[in-house]
Amino acid sequence: MTLSNFKTYTLSMRGNQIEISHPWIMGILNVTPDSFFAGSRASTDADIETRVTQLIAEGADIIDIGACSTRPGAEIVPEHEEIARLRQAVAIVRRLLPDTYISIDTCSALVAQVAIEEMGADIINDVSGGTIDLAMPATVARLGVPAVVMHMRGVPATMQQFTQYDNVVKDVVEELRQHLDTWRQAGATQLISDPGFGFSKTITQNYELMAHLDAFHALDVPLLVGISRKSMIYKSLGCSPDEALNGTTVLNTVALLAGAHILRVHDVKAAVEARKLVSLLNSKPTQQS
């Protein structure tokens, strides 16, 4: 796929240089009892095996494992509990699919360290952008792994109190730029940006960000978009998260057209199909006989 606003980046994982030469699909595995979308939750070994097998069979490039819910109003779970949940899930993924790249969705530097050093995970996905645990940037720098730096204000329990912006697009880009600078000053070099749809934003602000998604390319790092089944979709459509797949696919398509490098999704098959169809818009024409 060659979109006019899609820039190729390279990440180093397990000693390999991996090009993001086309959009990646990141499949969500939640080992929490309270994530907002029930379809992504798995707690027993059998449930985790079923979910992981499905994600890879449908074409996921990465599996993003979360053991602490970050839905609006969620409380942070103790680190020892988060680690225990992750050990169970990562062990199953490694046993079933040893070559699969694993991302860990956490705001804790200790959890990140254990997940990379002891469990063999590959990427850290910090929804706080390093603002909840200030040790996170230096920890990731020492670990030498890629990290997703997301925009959020406050913590999940309070984030919706902080939705005041002068200009939401410019402000979020600038705040993300500042976060990325903090990570770089700590020595982290493999960074991915995430505008943080649904985090410290109103529904209207989420759509303003989506309409100007190309502004985030100015950060000169890969762009991750995570809008799967979120309230900006199901509240706007007057439905439930269970009924929000069609709306998710529409916005994932918008994100692809805007040059997103990674889509974080609950429904891998639909995202892979959207990627394939968008790629056809840029395919070279064939000669007609």
How many angstroms separate the CA atoms of 122 and 144, rounded? 10
Q: Is the dihedral of CA 227, 231, 233, 234 positive or negative?
A: positive
How many angstroms separate the CA atoms of 8 and 122, rounded? 20
How many angstroms separate the CA atoms of 263 and 193, rounded? 12
**N residues, the chain:** 289
Single out the catalytic residue among 41, 85, 230, 275. 230
| Percent helix / strand / coil, the chain, rounded to 5 | 45, 15, 40
Q: How many CB atoms lie within 10 A of CB 154?
A: 15
Cβ atoms 126, 146 nearer than 8 A: no
How many angstroms separate the CA atoms of 81 and 89, rounded? 13
Q: Determine whether 264 is an active site residue.
A: yes
Q: Determine whether 284 is an active site residue.
A: no
Q: What residues are annotated to the active site?
A: 230, 264
